[in-house]
Amino acid sequence: MPALSTRTGSEIGLYELLSVLPSQLQPHVESADDRSFLHAMFGERSLHSLVKIHEKLQCYEDRAPTPVLDSAGSLAQNLTEELQGRSASNEIRELVKLLSKPHVKSLLSVHDTVARKSYDPELPPLPDDIDDEEDSVKIIRLVKNKEPLGATIKKDECSGAIIVARIMRGGAADRSGLIHVGDELKEVNGIPVDDKKPEEVIRILSQSQGAITFKVVPGIKEEAQSKEPKMFVKALFDYNPADDKAIPCKEAGLAFKKGDILQVMSQDDATWWQAKLEGDGNPRAGLIPSKHFQERRFAVWKPTTVTTLQRTPSKRFSGLRRSFRLSRRDKKTNKSMYECKRSDQYDTADVPTYEEVTTYRRKHGDRHRLVVLVGPTGVGLNELKRKLLISDPQHFSVTIPHTSRSKKHLESDGVEYHFISKHLFEADIQNSKFIEQGEYKGNYYGTSFDSVRSVLSKNKVCLLDVQPHTLRHLRTAEFKPYVVFVKPPSIERLRETRRNAKVISGKDDKNSSKSFSEEDFQEMISASQMMENQYGHLFEKVIVNDDLTVAFNELKQALRKVETETHWVPISWTHS
């Protein structure tokens, strides 16, 4: 940057510096918005006035006289008393009158304060009515701005006293270091609170502005605070304290959404943890239900949720397809042709509350993370996979499925399929070699874990589309799956965008293809909603496949970021 001087050395005043700043900064600011912001800021009249005042004070400070004495007030007082006894000349009477005037007294008092440079405020005198507990009572004065105090209170069941129940980490009370858990609140702003309910005390507090004076009896000293905890968890459910009847103080609660990363600041309380949203500048923690507590609540709520899901017909999209790329459905019955043993209905996923996470960035030379695409039938998973493969065949690859059917003319083992015997296939199923498998016309088809390993070992990105219930088997340190949920757009957009699209059948049923029906669209949307409800907490990225090119570009960009940027992953994936 060029020197900002128009003159040299001490001659440059701040005011002049301000005047030249906009033109000097101009070449370094690209955006027009930023330029006009800078102009407005540096041209602001009040800023110029302030700077002028600052400069004047600065000059004055250089020539400031030192005070002759710092007790002019008491000198004047003594003088007045002495002179009052004397025979009065006009001059003396006038002087006594002058020195007795309140304005002059105040002026001298201000003079003395300035001369002594004693600017600290005087604390209010201690109340006189302090009894035998005197030495254990603390008077605390906090200045409250708009920020809440960051403490919760409760009524002690036995004594009826109002006790500080919690201090929110990083909040105003915590930062002051003056109020502690267990302290008994006696008065707020001179109002006794012994006989009040916690809600009434909270009302008094919320109505107080500026300085608040607390009279407290300190509780037993808290354990020395541990260092700032560094546990991060990914929220697997949405939470809004305003809707939570159990939370002790709604205002102290922290709202979050599924997928948010939370830094847990305290787990001292078994039911209510304290946490901050990761990356949030606000240092104050908020209350969130603890993992254990939330799991218990979910366990109570769960039965209804599961029943609803199970009642909804899920057969259509439960069929085995995707990686095998066989046929989507039977043309005559319009039903899924492959019934995957486990996928007929959603299994009850682990109770989703929080998952401990840490940051992970793929190092050069590390294996790629497995890319898993999930979505309802017909949403476009294969289309997206196909486009990725075409865009960079050296970089992306897919698995080769296994089948027990016999090899056809022109097919080669390990190209279209790995052809194995029915007996071996059954043994492999027993040995959990398959991510998913199913039966069609008396033959088995399946995708093995080894087929994924084979792609990854060639240092390629493996693209896999599976039923969402298999995700639990893929979420391991070895695969570190990046799960992308491909979602259909609105039904109106499906009608528009899929006008010329065909429900494509697989390799084994080459001739069957038909246009999407209205029922297909409705089914796609309801299947998508159910998948999101049940497995949404496992999706790292959601892409709406409205315009295919837009969806593809979004996917490609996300996959590039997975390879180059830091992501949050379960902590267990980094401990292998």
Using CB under 6 A as the criterion, which residues of the chain lie in contact with ligand ATP when the complex forms?
321-322, 328, 375, 377-383, 497-498, 501-502, 504, 545, 548, 551
Q: Which is nearer to ligand ATP, 274 or 382 (CB)?
A: 382
As measured in angstroms, the least distance from the Cβ of 520 to ligand ATP is: 10
Could you give the 3-state DSSP secondary structure of residue 455? helix
Whether 446 contacts 404, CB under 8 Å: no
Three-state SS sequence of 399-428? CCCEECCCCCCCCCECCCEEECCHHHHHHH
As measured in angstroms, the least distance from the Cβ of 278 to ligand ATP is: 33
Cα 493 to Cα 468: distance, rounded to the nearest angstrom: 25
User: Quick one: 332 exposed, middle or buried, by C-beta within 10 A (0-12, 13-18, 19+)?
Assistant: exposed
Q: Which is nearer to ligand ATP, 382 or 534 (CB)?
A: 382
Cα 57 to Cα 573: distance, rounded to the nearest angstrom: 61
Cα 189 to Cα 143: distance, rounded to the nearest angstrom: 12
Whether 213 contacts 139, CB under 8 Å: yes
Q: Which is nearer to ligand ATP, 280 or 547 (CB)?
A: 547
Interhelix angle 102-116/72-84, nearest 10 degrees: 140
Could you give the 3-state DSSP secondary structure of residue 326? coil
As measured in angstroms, the least distance from the Cβ of 388 to ligand ATP is: 12
- Listed in sequence order, the residues at least 6 apart from 99 whose beta carbon sits closer than 8 Å to its beta carbon are 76, 77, 79, 80, 105
Q: Which is nearer to ligand ATP, 284 or 329 (CB)?
A: 329
As measured in angstroms, the least distance from the Cβ of 168 to ligand ATP is: 47
As measured in angstroms, the least distance from the Cβ of 548 to ligand ATP is: 3
By DSSP bridging, strand 138-144 and strand 210-217 are antiparallel
Q: Which is nearer to ligand ATP, 330 or 563 (CB)?
A: 330
As measured in angstroms, the least distance from the Cβ of 515 to ligand ATP is: 9
User: Quick one: 161 exposed, middle or buried, by C-beta within 10 A (0-12, 13-18, 19+)?
Assistant: middle
Shortest-Cβ-distance residue relative to ligand ATP: 380
Q: Which is nearer to ligand ATP, 276 or 498 (CB)?
A: 498
Please choose, from the candidates 72, 68, 100, the residue with its C-alpha nearest in 3D space to the C-alpha of residue 84. 100
Alpha helices in 240-335 (DSSP H): 291-311, 315-318
Please choose, from the candidates 128, 209, 219, the residue with its C-alpha nearest in 3D space to the C-alpha of residue 178. 219
As measured in angstroms, the least distance from the Cβ of 425 to ligand ATP is: 22
Please choose, from the candidates 350, 369, 353, the residue with its C-alpha nearest in 3D space to the C-alpha of residue 361. 369
Q: Which is nearer to ligand ATP, 235 or 551 (CB)?
A: 551
As measured in angstroms, the least distance from the Cβ of 561 to ligand ATP is: 22
As measured in angstroms, the least distance from the Cβ of 253 to ligand ATP is: 40
Q: Which is nearer to ligand ATP, 417 or 573 (CB)?
A: 417
Cα 179 to Cα 166: distance, rounded to the nearest angstrom: 10
Whether 360 contacts 566, CB under 8 Å: yes
Judged by phi (left if over 0) then psi (alpha if -120 to 50, else beta), residue 442 lies in left
As measured in angstroms, the least distance from the Cβ of 387 to ligand ATP is: 10
Q: Which is nearer to ligand ATP, 168 or 551 (CB)?
A: 551
Q: Which is nearer to ligand ATP, 143 or 491 (CB)?
A: 491
Q: Which is nearer to ligand ATP, 374 or 562 (CB)?
A: 374
For the residues of 188-199, what is the DSSP string, one character each?
ETTEE-TTS-HH
As measured in angstroms, the least distance from the Cβ of 345 to ligand ATP is: 18
